[in-house]
Amino acid sequence: MNIFSRKKLLLGFLTIIFIFSVYLSYLNINTKEIAVLSSQTTSVSLDLPKNCKIENESEDLKVNGTTSSKSDVEDNKIEVYSSSAGEYKLKAKLFGIIPINNYNINVIPNTKLYPSGQLVGVSMNTKGAIAVQFQSFIDISGNEVCPAKDAGIKTGDIIVEIGDSKVYNADEVIEQLNKIDHKEIEVVIKRENVEQTVTVKPVKAKDDNKYKIGLWVRDSVAGIGTLTCYNDKLNRFVALGHSINDVDTGIIMPVKNGDLIESELISIVKGKRNNPGELRGVLKADNKDIIGSIELNNDFGIYGDVTKKVNSSSSPMEIALQDKIKEGDAQILTTIDNEGPKLFDIKIKKTYKQTKKNTKSMLIEVTDKELLSKTGGIVQGMSGSPIIQNGKIVGAVTHVFVTDPTKGYGIYIEWLLEDLLT
């Protein structure tokens, strides 16, 4: 073999290695997520070419009835089963050799939940004080200044420490700043869950001769929403179906502590095109009216422990994952008067195949004449209302269309279970 042929062979070999490396990288990026219920055999469609085998490395997951390391794919489907909740990994290989796809099989506890639909109040305190607004002022030299902004603080930052002192609320922030006077001080802030330190130098204001940094902070929030469901064995609840965000900065408010409180509906603002409606209620103030303690606020709802027996108009229900949800008739359980939650008719217009958590899992439309007459469709405060189809909980209401209040989105119940059942 001459030198030219060897170089050509080497170049071809390197090209194959490069293509294969890019291919493997593609596979790692496109690992597919599949959710199934525990203690239930589930048929899973894989969308694979012929002559593929599934490689299984776990003894706790059965594929096609066996824990064998390799199983055949028949009619582009496999059957999976596990009695143990958890995440299991499968690999699809062409001819049992060439990697095609990776799968994460997320086995969700097959549990029953009590659907609620009860209108509840939310009272929540944050971890630290949230910077919500800058306030420039005139210093004793006649200059307009804002020391907090100049130091690099941004709205949405959470102040957790001033000097050597931890601060947990707005009052403590003010107390520490009043001690500083003209001295430079290090302030620890948390931005996108990363702590960093900035140096702030207070400036004396002309109007009152007090040292200021020009910053408004907030440490609490209160509002109205709907309790989705709860698990009576773990005494855990989930509500809202989406996060509680600061009204000024838009950040998800980090929970220090909070209460889920019984509330009384006082009026309904009917939803209209380009004018969202609203359930208006008041929080009951007595300690006996506290339903639960809030421990978590994330993109998909608020979670916590039930501290008193929750009134439920329904028996516990099974859940259905997204592959079992059908477009067509369904119901939402929600509260529009002080007689408690009632079922109202809707249609699931479209479901979206999802492998990652998302608050917009299905498109829904209100069809119930009574609900349309009283609220115009979906209104603020209804978020979290459980969606029920064929006697199973399939999700919760999350959003309303501003241009059409009869329509909105719901989240799949499977996206709420991880934080509900742990």
Amino acid 27: pLDDT? 46
Residue 401 maps to a domain: yes
Residues 263 and 234 both lie in one domain: yes
Q: What is the pTM of this model?
A: 0.81
Question: Quick one: 88 and 159 in the same domain?
Answer: no
Q: Assess if residue 15 is contained within a domain.
A: no
Residues designated catalytic = 242, 368, 383
241 Cβ contact list (under 8 Å, min separation 6) = 228, 300, 301, 359, 383, 384, 395, 396, 397, 398, 410, 411, 416
Closest CA to 278 of 288, 269, 290, 289: 269
Residues ≥6 apart with Cβ < 8 Å to 272? 376, 405
Domain-embedded: residue 350: yes
The verdict on 324 and 302 lying in the same domain is no
pLDDT of residue 311: 63
Query: Chunked in runs of 10, what are the mean pLDDT values of the chain (422 residues)?
Result: 58 57 49 85 82 85 83 82 89 84 87 93 88 92 93 92 88 82 85 90 89 89 92 92 86 89 91 90 78 93 87 82 94 93 97 90 97 95 96 96 95 93 82
Q: Which of 163, 190, 213 is the last residue of a domain?
A: 213
pLDDT at residue 16, rounded to an integer: 61
Indicate whether 328 and 400 sit together in one domain. yes
Tell me, what's the pLDDT at 28?
A: 47
**379 plus 347 within the same structural domain:** yes
> Residue 160 maps to which CATH number?
2.30.42.10
Q: Is 343 a domain residue?
A: yes
Q: Distance (Å, rounded) from C-alpha 381 to C-alpha 240?
A: 8
Rounded CA separation 131/30 (Å):
38
Residue 14 lies in a domain: no
Q: How far apart are CA 222 and CA 4, in angstroms?
A: 77
Domain-ending residue, one of 279, 306, 333: 306
| Distance between CA atoms of residues 394 and 324, nearest Å | 9
Give me the number of domains the chain comprises: 4
Residue 9 lies in a domain: no
* Region of 7 on the Ramachandran plot (φ > 0 left; ψ -120 to 50 alpha; else beta): alpha
The verdict on residue 98 lying in a domain is yes
Is the same domain home to 296 and 327?
no
Tell me: do 370 and 396 sit in the same domain: yes
Same domain, 206 and 225: no
Give yes or no: residues 194 and 229 share one domain.
Answer: no
CATH number for the domain that contains residue 101: 2.60.40.1080
Last residue of a domain, one of 283, 306, 329: 306
CATH of the domain at 328: 2.40.10.10
372 and 329 in one domain?
yes
225 with 209, same domain: the answer is no
CA 22 to chain CA centroid, Å, is: 33
Q: For residue 321, what are the domain limits?
A: 316-420
Q: What is residue 178's predicted lDDT score, i.e. its pLDDT?
A: 77
Give the model's pLDDT for residue 64: 86
pLDDT at 7: 58
Pairing of strands 318-319, 392-401: parallel
Helices marked H in 311-401: 369-375
**Residue 128 within a domain:** no
Residues 84 and 102 in one domain: yes
